[in-house]
Structure 1
Amino acid sequence: MKRNVIRSSLLLSLAAMTSIAVAALKEGDAAPDIKAQASLAGKSFTYSLTDALKKGPVVVYFYPSAFTGGCNIQAHSFAVSHEKFQEAGATVVGVSLDSISRLNDFSADPDYCAGKFPVASDVDGKIAKSYDLAVAETPAGRKDTRGNDIDHGRAERSTFIVTATGKVYAAIGGLTPEQNVARALEAVQKLSGTKAAKS
């Protein structure tokens, strides 16, 4: 009896995770515009996806929270690979429900974003929801890697490669932070015709 209950619970959990993953925007969908306060190298500005797309494809990556384990790794991986994304003609923007003050610190930190790419503040989760991503409350008492309280919600970790025409070329989810970055790089290299051997 207990095994059946456990199996049912596991199946329901898997179904819930699958429905979340399936709900996200897919290849060929129009990418909603992003206009938000963002930070680059510790300086706030207004980020516009429409403006960024005028220069070429954009990697839009959603992550749960600045200064947390996986998100630190992912930001660092994007920063380390920044030149490879540029060689493929793509820019990168991170999006989270962090406040702009947290993102000013995160974007400038040499261990994470290192001033290489902007991170946008989606404090009310509207941008994440426009990309059909799940947004959840952070459990009370959760701390970041600096020991500070995380007092905001979090979006699921998902990455979208958006073409210059504003369409989703690839949607990437369900991977480790490092795999997520590697898959995003492969996608932009394929999109631009850049040989993966260059990476």
Structure 2
Amino acid sequence: MGLQQGKTAPDFELKDQDGEKFHLASELKKGPVVLFFYPADFTPGCTAEACSFRDSYEQFTDAGAIVAGISTDSANSHRKFASKYRLPFTLLSDTGGAVARKFAVGRRLMGLLPGRETFVIDRNGMVRLNFNSMGPKGHVRTALQIVRELKGD
């Protein structure tokens, strides 16, 4: 079970699929951030989840949110994944899993598989949602609901 609602999100910096730095504190200055941790590029469930975020991406950006996916895959793998499925958002490479540990994202299947959790972080760095489900469905709908509520704040 990951970092809980009401806690301050830990700051981090990771490289994206293009080798650019993504610094959470800098991104929060622009608006709320949706981080979805997922097990691996190109797997059926992760592809479904990423494509679901892709299909709702405009709704997130219209509400002022930044969307980023995080897995332990390399930047090169992320670049291929984003290209193949036309993913418009940032994919971050957490190769050692340090950021997932900071967010207390659990592992599944006796510790063999990285967890699937989605966090919505408001502009103040507060976790407003932690959605923990190995199923890829529900992450987008639940995160979008919270982002829209934040827009009304």
TM-score normalized by structure 1? 0.72
Match of 2:11 in 1: 33
Q: 1:192, CA displacement in angstroms?
A: 1.2
Q: 1:128–1:135: 8 Å Cα contact kept in structure 2?
A: no
Mapped partners of 2:140, 2:9: distance in 1: 19
* Larger Rg, first or second structure (1 or 2): 1
Q: 1:60–1:93: 8 Å Cα contact kept in structure 2?
A: yes
Q: 1:97–1:154: 8 Å Cα contact kept in structure 2?
A: no
Q: Is 1:83–2:58 an aligned residue pair?
A: yes
Q: 2:50–2:87: 8 Å Cα contact kept in structure 1?
A: no
Match of 1:173 in 2: 132
In structure 1, the gaps of 5 or more residues are 1-20, 140-152, 195-199
Instruction: Determine what percentage of the aligned residue pairs are the same residue.
Output: 34
> 1:50/1:154 Cα in 2 relative to 1: closer, same or farther (>3 Å)?
farther
Q: Deviations over 1:71-97 (max 9, x none)?
A: 000110111101100111101010000
Amino acid at match of 1:35: E
Equivalent of 2:143 in 176, 184, 192? 184
Q: 1:70, CA displacement in angstroms?
A: 0.6
Q: Is 1:119–2:91 an aligned residue pair?
A: yes
> 1:184/1:30 Cα in 2 relative to 1: closer, same or farther (>3 Å)?
same
Equivalent of 1:159 in 101, 111, 118? 118
Equivalent of 1:50 in 12, 25, 28? 25
Q: Deviations over 1:91-132 (max 9, x none)?
A: 1010000011101111222x2xx2410010000010000001
Q: Which has the higher contact order (CA 8 A, sep 6+)?
A: 2
Mapped partners of 1:33, 1:108: distance in 2: 28
Q: 1:138, CA displacement in angstroms?
A: 9.9
Match of 2:80 in 1: 105
Q: 1:44–1:104: 8 Å Cα contact kept in structure 2?
A: no
In structure 2, the gaps of 5 or more residues are none
> 1:127/1:154 Cα in 2 relative to 1: closer, same or farther (>3 Å)?
farther
Q: 1:37–1:46: 8 Å Cα contact kept in structure 2?
A: yes
> 1:127/1:137 Cα in 2 relative to 1: closer, same or farther (>3 Å)?
farther
| Aligned partner of residue 44 in structure 1, secondary structure | coil
Q: 1:129–1:135: 8 Å Cα contact kept in structure 2?
A: no
